Amino acid sequence: MRVVIAEDSVLLREGLTRLLTDRGHDVVAGVGDAEALVKTVADLDAQGELPDVVVADVRMPPTHTDEGVRAAVRLRKAHPGLGVLVLSQYVEERYATELLAGSSRGVGYLLKDRVAEVREFVDAVVRVAGGGTALDPEVVAQLLGRSRKQDVLAGLTPREREVLGLMAEGRTNSAIAKQLVVSDGAVEKHVSNIFLKLGLAPSEGDHRRVLAVLTYLNS
């Protein structure tokens, strides 16, 4: 897996690099601001060496507001095959919603505290690089818990909401079954009911798991 890291804290950038390289991944570049990130990815793409995934801080110089996430959105539009995982100190709904508003493939939003859980963090980077989704449980809880979404959630049972939250974290049906201590078949039934209630018809790519979350965000 080839990775570009964008983080203005040199200490954290080096730490992320070490975490990934120690596990056999190739960190091809590390930058400290959003413009450098966009330029680096463009240069690599021009050389036919587009990375598999970018890991970027939401807030970077010069204003430390939303440069990182805006760069991530630009990169997703310019390079559809590029995975983008953003890191944030806090749950920032607007940024998460903006990042998830486009294609449902290869996107992640994690809190920085999650980096301390090394295995989970690396698994999330690998999942996003492979076109999957990695949403922090705290992000999921806040996004799905907004009062204005209750009308959308009203048709789901409490168990279906719980399953949907775990789906949005990127868990497989088997992992959800293990978490909830139920059978795989029971989870499959809940997932089917969720898709049915949200009006998500089967698709060739079958990204309905992510679209189920996006339905709430965009409704």
Q: In the chain, which stretches have pLDDT less than 70?
A: 93, 101-104, 140-152, 169-170, 203-207, 209-211, 213-219
- 13-21 contacts at long range (C-beta below 8 A, 24 or more positions apart): 15/115, 16/55, 16/115, 19/115, 19/118, 19/121, 19/122, 20/122, 20/125
pLDDT in the model for residue 207: 59
Q: Is 149 left (phi over 0), alpha (psi -120 to 50) or beta?
A: alpha
Written as six digits, the tokens of 217 are: 């965000």
Tell me what pLDDT residue 218 has.
Answer: 52
Mention every residue, 6+ apart, whose C-beta is less than 8 A from residue 121. Answer: 19, 110, 114, 115
For residue 1, which of 119, 97, 130, 118 has the smallest C-alpha distance? 130
- What was the pLDDT predicted at 147? 43
Vertex 73: Cα angle to 34 and 7 (nearest 5) = 30
Which class for 107: exposed (0-12), middle (13-18), buried (19 or more C-beta within 10 A)?
buried
Closest listed residue to residue 211, CA positions, set 127, 133, 123: 133
Residue 150 has a pLDDT of 54
- What pLDDT does residue 30 have? 96
State residue 10's pLDDT score: 93
The reported pLDDT for the residue numbered 190 is 94
pTM over 0.75: no
pLDDT at position 174, please? Answer: 92
pLDDT number for residue 113: 84
Bond into 158 cis (ω within 30): no
